[in-house]
């Protein structure tokens, strides 16, 4: 095992590996005050401690954050005994799996930082064919712990406080080559934890790494093993992939290996469809392009709602495909069908009700703009567009713009100008009235007082009528609203 002392992380000239080593030195020096202090406490208690996994990988890539992962030969109760007097906060959420979490304030590169720390006892874990949860057993050596890690680039460690670099599976070489391999055989690794197959796609998307051919082959052969993993774990891994910098790369890998067919079958189904304008090789390619274009429009970091809506916006097309007499292919009402399919799939993946509601609503609304033409909508139609989008309006703007992937520059420019015009009209109307919080000109209490009635369905009917008037004509003076309400009430009485 190529263990080394501090010198193994010291700069050496001109090679890619030495560049990684220089980055690691800088990153480790930044967190050393906290990491070394913790390591000495473990040492004094008779245990070892090492920075491990993603923390070492990110240090070598020059992107180590304030989330630090450690491994130790101390059992969880011993870890608790050591960290409780030292940490600012301690939690035991993962203690059943050998992990203790804590928070510690300490010096950073420029100011005091909050470090989120996880300390995990050396362990091995594996799934059996009937369980959705890994069986955890503790180990006694770091070598045993590293061989059970998912990929070689995550199977490196730095023993502390002496900073001894431990890399028994040549992770540093794979990091330099930007390739994902498993410490043992991929079949053994994925049998131990099938979620690692999705993790391969996630790391490809996050780090822009290639996945070794033998790993891809094992993912393909073993894709059905993902069925044993809980929906919550699959969802969390999928979110990380979608929020990565290169989601197309990871999504392609999921589709090509058959994993997507197990966890998100609506995505590979799109490969079979051609859109109604014959602009794209298939709807699958169009979807990936829409996702990338939506990402380009993000202005406050990765937006899970927007990205999921972009990914799922056309999943209703396979069920609505029709071959027309003129040779065209149509997908009438695919947005409505797609919204229902989105709700179903996201519910199966255990997404929150709020997230399911928002994403499915965007899918349902994503075609609404195409009725706008060159500005034929009335002001009332614009108000309805804003009302129906509600707090999702900004995301709907981005999704709608992203959905234009035509290579016809003239057509693309025309669509962009039309949407610019719609946004300008929305802005003008919002200056005139609180468009994004449209309410009738009379509230429920006023309706009951004017009509002399108590609470009941008639109040709701009157409220709806006044809302329609508000949408159609804009704000009304109180006297005009009262008159309109009384006229409506008189008509109801005659009926």
Q: What is the pLDDT of residues 26-49, one digit of tens each?
A: 677 677 888 999 999 999 999 999
Q: What is the mean pLDDT of residues 380-398?
A: 88
Per residue in 47-86, pLDDT tens?
999 999 999 999 888 888 889 999 999 999 999 999 999 9
Tokens of 187: 């079949």
Q: Regarding predicted confidence, which is higher, 278 or 422?
A: 422
Mean pLDDT of 229-247: 96
State yes or no: pLDDT of 365 exceeds 80: yes
- The reported pTM is 0.79
Lowest model confidence (mean pLDDT) among 197-206, 347-356, 412-421, 455-464: 412-421
Q: Angle 231-242/304-312 helices, nearest 10 degrees?
A: 100
pLDDT reading at 234 higher than 90: yes
Question: Rounded to 5 degrees, what angle do the CA atoms 231, 234, 239 make?
Answer: 120
pLDDT at 4: 42
Maximum alpha-carbon separation in the chain: 94
pLDDT > 50? residue 5: no
Question: Residue 224: is its pLDDT beyond 90?
Answer: yes
On whether the CB atoms of residues 28 and 9 are closer than 8 A, the answer is yes
Q: Give the Cα separation of 439 and 241 in Å (integer).
A: 40
Confidence at 285, pLDDT banded by 50, 70, 90: very high
Question: In whole angstroms, what is the distance from residue 214 CA to residue 161 CA?
Answer: 37
Q: What is the pLDDT of residue 108?
A: 62
In terms of Cα–Cα distance, which of 425, 403, 433 is closest to 415? 403
pLDDT at 217: 98
- CA distance to 70, 71, 146, 468, per residue, from 121 (Å): 9, 6, 12, 63
| Residue 107 and residue 32 in contact, taking contact as beta carbons nearer than 8 Å | no
pLDDT of residue 225: 94
The 3-state secondary structure of the chain reads CCCCCHHHHCCCCCCHHHHHHHHHHHHHHHHHHHHHHHHHHHHHCCCCEEEECHHHHHHHHCCCCCEEEEEECCCHHHHHHHHCCCCCEEECCCHHHCEEEEEEEEECCCCEEEEEEEEEECEEEECCCCCCCCEEEECCCHHHHHHCCCCHHHCCEEEECCCEEECCCCHHHHHHHCEECCCCCHHHHHHHCCHHHHHHHHHHHHHCCEECHHHHHHHHHCHHHHHHCCHHHHHHHHHHHHCCCCHHHHHHHHHHHCHHHHHCCHHHHHHHCCCCCCCCCCHHHHHHHHHHHHHHCCCCCCCHHHHHHHHHCCCCHHHHCEECCCCCEECCCHHHHHHHHHHHHHHHCCCCHHHHHHHHHHHHHCCHHHHCCCCCCCHHHHHHHHHHHHHHHHHHHHHHHHCCCCCCHHHHHHHHHHHHHHHHHHHHHHHHCCHHHCCCCCCHHHHHHHHCCCCCHHHHHHHHHHHHHHHHHCCCCHHHHHHHHHHHHHHHHHC
Does 230 have pLDDT greater than 90?
yes
Tokens representing 425 are 């009209």
pLDDT confidence of residue 343: 97
**Residue-level pLDDT at 11:** 35
Stretch 93-111: mean pLDDT: 84
Mean pLDDT of all residues in 398-423: 83
| Whole-number pLDDT of residue 409 | 79
Q: Token digits for 201? A: 């796609």
pLDDT of 408 > 80? The answer is no
Sign of the alpha-carbon dihedral angle for 163, 169, 175, 176: positive
Query: Over the stretch 424-483, which tens digit does the pLDDT of each residue have?
Result: 888 887 776 655 556 777 888 888 888 888 888 888 888 888 888 887 777 788 888 888
The residue among 401 and 10 whose pLDDT is bigger is: 401
Summary mean pLDDT of the chain: 86
User: Which is more confidently placed, 22 or 326?
Assistant: 326
For residues 360 and 124, the model is more confident at 360
């Amino acid at each position: 095992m190529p263990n080394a002392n501090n010198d193994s992380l010291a700069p050496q000239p001109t090679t890619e590996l030495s560049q990684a080593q220089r980055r690691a030195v800088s990153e480790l020096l930044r967190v050393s005050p906290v990491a070394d202090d913790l390591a000495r406490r473990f040492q004094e208690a008779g245990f070892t401690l090492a920075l491990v996994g993603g923390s070492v990988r990110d240090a070598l890539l020059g992107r180590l954050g304030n989330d630090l992962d450690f491994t130790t030969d101390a059992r969880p109760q011993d870890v608790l005994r050591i960290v409780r007097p030292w940490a600012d906060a301690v939690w035991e959420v993962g203690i059943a799996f050998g992990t203790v979490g804590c928070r510690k304030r300490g010096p950073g590169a420029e100011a005091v930082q909050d470090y989120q720390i996880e300390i995990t006892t050396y362990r091995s874990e594996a799934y059996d064919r009937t369980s959705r949860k890994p069986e955890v057993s503790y180990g006694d050596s770091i070598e045993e712990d590293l061989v059970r890690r998912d990929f070689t680039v995550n199977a490196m460690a730095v023993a502390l406080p002496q900073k001894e670099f431990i890399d028994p599976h040549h992770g540093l070489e794979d990091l330099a080559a930007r390739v994902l391999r498993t410490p043992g055989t991929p079949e053994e690794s994925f049998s131990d934890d099938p979620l690692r197959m999705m993790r391969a796609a996630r790391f490809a998307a996050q780090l822009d790494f290639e996945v070794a051919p033998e790993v891809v082959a094992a993912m393909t052969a073993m894709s059905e093993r993902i069925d044993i993993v809980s929906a919550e774990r699959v969802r969390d891994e999928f979110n990380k992939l979608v929020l990565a910098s290169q989601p197309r790369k990871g999504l392609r890998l999921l589709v090509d290996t058959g994993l997507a067919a197990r966890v998100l079958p609506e995505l590979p189904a799109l490969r079979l469809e051609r859109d109604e304008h014959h602009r794209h090789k298939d709807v699958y390619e169009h979807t990936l392009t829409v996702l990338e274009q939506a990402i380009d429009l993000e202005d406050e970091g990765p937006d899970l709602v927007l990205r999921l809506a972009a990914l799922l916006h056309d999943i209703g097309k396979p069920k609505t495909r029709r071959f027309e007499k003129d040779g065209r292919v149509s997908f009438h009402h695919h947005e409505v069908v797609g919204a229902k399919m989105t709700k179903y799939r996201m519910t199966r993946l255990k997404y929150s009700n709020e997230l399911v509601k928002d994403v499915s609503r965007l899918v349902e609304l994503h075609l609404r703009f195409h009725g706008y033409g060159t500005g034929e909508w009335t002001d009332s139609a614009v108000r309805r567009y804003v009302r129906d989008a509600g707090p999702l309006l900004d995301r709907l703007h981005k999704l709608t713009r992203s959905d234009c992937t035509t290579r016809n520059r003239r057509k693309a420019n025309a669509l962009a100008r039309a949407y610019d015009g719609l946004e300008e009209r929305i802005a003008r109307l919002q200056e005139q009235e609180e468009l994004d919080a449209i309410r009738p000109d009379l509230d429920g209490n006023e309706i009951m007082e004017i009509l002399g009635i108590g609470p009941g369905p008639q109040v709701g009917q009157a409220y709806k009528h006044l809302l329609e008037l508000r949408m159609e004509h804009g704000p009304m003076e109180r006297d005009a609203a009262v008159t309109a309400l009384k006229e409506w009430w008189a008509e109801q009485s005659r009926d």
